[in-house]
Amino acid sequence: MDDEQTIRESATALLERVGLETQAVGDGTAVLREYALAKEAGRPFDVVILDLTVPGGMGGLETIEKLRQMDPQVRAIVSSGYSRDPVLAQYQAHGFLGMVPKPYDLHELVKVVHTVMQGKSV
């Protein structure tokens, strides 16, 4: 999830390049809807990547809280271009298993995604 279309497109391209299936949305409301639909269809998401800040929409912190109510076992990664945000420094305390800064580095993104997909914290 990211409010910027170019970031959604680049993250999707990076992850699909290494063989992962993706679905990208622009805000937390869309994440909650798509997460519930995927779960109901028997194809739950292995991991979600949530942008911390979504101007005018539901950002990563509120989204992870609602996702954890929906599914306490959700595996989530927080992402942000604001490296000084305290949530990034203490992402595990907020329910995230991993953190990736923007701009994305392919190797770091893939490493964090694979680790979190296994249910492990980075």
Dump pLDDT digits (tens) for 21-35: 999 999 999 999 999
Indicate the average pLDDT of the chain: 95
In a domain, 122, yes or no: no
Peptide bond into 86 cis (omega under 30): no
Domain boundaries, position 74: 5-117
Mean pLDDT of 92-111: 95
Mean pLDDT of 41-62: 96
Mean pLDDT of 50-77: 96
Q: What is the CATH number of the domain that holds 65?
A: 3.40.50.2300
pLDDT at 84 over 90: no
Q: How far apart are CA 90 and CA 92, in angstroms?
A: 6
Give me the pLDDT at residue 55, please.
93
Domain count, the chain: 1
Total-model pTM:
0.95
